[in-house]
């Protein structure tokens, strides 16, 4: 007898995690996906650790009430600050978490210098320090905070003179020091990727770990993933959205970034 499919929860401080959600949707077309944009509390990047962790706990609790079978932390800031505490708090729940792609960047650099673009909290986080200590070796890893970028994406300002100037200001020091690989260490930043690539030029590689997170989720869900791959007639899974911010704004912005019209419901936590 078929059981109702258990969904997968994905969350971020706002719309940034859609850059991860789209990779998950592409890899796992039949899964039921729930997405929470905590836009009413964004940005996480300059909040106190306790505040960020408390929001993550509330949202994961919401997903547990929706009977999810896994949660994807589509926010580098939450991972860097709190992933260990969250795993202790929800020991039965698979938590798949994004983190900056330091290891692949170190493997890819030819100049010996890589840049990590991230929020202030990620730049200062124990999580990023651990990644650098584990993988950098002789490579110089420059962590660059990018103030204002998350807010720009949340406002839907993905182009235009002000966005270009903000991107250029943060890339400048990294390019001046010879970085030839740039890591998108915040899930909002893939939406600024055209501006980043334009400013960095063709000699600089830009890395986004979102697809790797989707593959990691698939590995953690072996039975369901196998079903998805072999059942060619399986129905497309639904995707549902919640926001803790202004739902009309969230619905418009998510529809634009997601590429189809969607309605975001009010997050009850």
DSSP symbol at 189: G
- Catalytic residue check, 186: yes
Nearer to ligand DGL, 7 or 127 (CB): 127
Partners of residue 241 on adjacent β-strands: 35, 264
Nearest to 5 by CA among 68, 65, 64, 92: 68
Report the half-sphere exposure of 90 (CA within 13 A, side-chain side): 25
55 binds ligand DGL (CB under 6 A): no
Phi and psi at residue 8, in whole multiples of 5°? -115, 130
3 state DSSP class of 6: coil
12 binds ligand DGL (CB under 6 A): yes
Cβ atoms of 185 and 118 closer than 8 Å: yes
Hey, what's the torsion of the CAs at 2, 91, 10, 210, to 10 degrees?
A: -110
Site for ligand DGL in 234-263 (CB under 6 A): none
45 binds ligand DGL (CB under 6 A): yes
259 Ramachandran zone, left/alpha/beta (phi>0; psi -120 to 50): left
Site for ligand DGL in 188-207 (CB under 6 A): 188
The rounded distance, in Å, linking the Cα atoms of 104 and 206 is 11
3 state DSSP class of 95: strand
Of the listed 75, 146, 170, 247, which one is catalytic? 75
Site for ligand DGL in 61-100 (CB under 6 A): 75-77
- Single out the residue of 39, 53, 82, 122 in contact with ligand DGL (rule: CB under 6 A): 122
The rounded distance, in Å, linking the Cα atoms of 152 and 150 is 5
Q: How far is the CB of 98 from ligand DGL (least distance, A)?
A: 7
Site for ligand DGL in 141-170 (CB under 6 A): 150
- Catalytic residue check, 75: yes
Of the listed 146, 170, 186, 247, which one is catalytic? 186
> For the sheet containing 140-145, what is the strand order?
140-145, 113-118, 181-184, 205-207
Nearer to ligand DGL, 42 or 68 (CB): 42
42 binds ligand DGL (CB under 6 A): yes
Cβ atoms of 86 and 73 closer than 8 Å: yes
Nearer to ligand DGL, 225 or 257 (CB): 257
16 binds ligand DGL (CB under 6 A): yes
- Single out the residue of 71, 114, 141, 186 in contact with ligand DGL (rule: CB under 6 A): 186
36 binds ligand DGL (CB under 6 A): no
44 binds ligand DGL (CB under 6 A): yes
- Single out the residue of 13, 53, 218, 239 in contact with ligand DGL (rule: CB under 6 A): 13
Positions marked active-site: 75, 186
Question: Using CB under 6 A as the criterion, which residues of the chain lie in contact with ligand DGL when the complex forms?
Answer: 12-14, 16, 42-45, 75-77, 119, 122, 150, 186-188
């Amino acid at each position: 007898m078929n059981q109702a499919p258990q969904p997968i929860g994905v969350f971020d401080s706002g719309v940034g995690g859609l850059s991860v959600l789209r990779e998950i949707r592409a890899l796992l077309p039949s899964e039921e996906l729930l997405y929470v944009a905590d836009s009413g509390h964004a940005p996480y990047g300059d909040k106190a650790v306790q505040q960020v962790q408390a929001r993550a706990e509330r949202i994961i609790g919401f997903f547990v009430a929706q009977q999810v079978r896994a949660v994807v932390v589509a926010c580098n800031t939450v991972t860097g600050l709190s992933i260990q505490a969250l795993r202790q708090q929800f020991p039965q729940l698979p938590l798949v978490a994004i983190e900056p792609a330091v290891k692949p960047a170190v493997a890819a650099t030819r100049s010996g210098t890589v840049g990590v673009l991230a929020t202030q909290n990620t730049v200062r986080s124990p999580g990023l320090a651990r990644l650098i200590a584990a993988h950098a070796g002789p490579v110089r890893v420059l962590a660059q905070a990018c103030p204002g970028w998350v807010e720009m994406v949340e406002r839907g300002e993905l182009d235009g003179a002000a966005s270009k100037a903000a991107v250029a200001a943060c890339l400048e020091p990294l390019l001046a020091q010879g970085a030839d690989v740039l890591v998108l260490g915040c899930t909002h930043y893939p939406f600024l990727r055209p501006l980043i690539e334009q400013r960095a030029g063709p000699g600089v590689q830009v890395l986004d770990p979102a697809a790797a997170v989707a593959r990691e989720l698939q590995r953690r869900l072996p039975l369901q993933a196998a079903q998805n791959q072999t059942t060619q007639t399986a129905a497309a899974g639904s995707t549902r959205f919640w926001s803790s911010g202004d739902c009309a704004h969230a619905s418009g912005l998510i529809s634009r970034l997601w590429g189809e019209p969607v309605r975001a419901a009010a997050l009850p936590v």
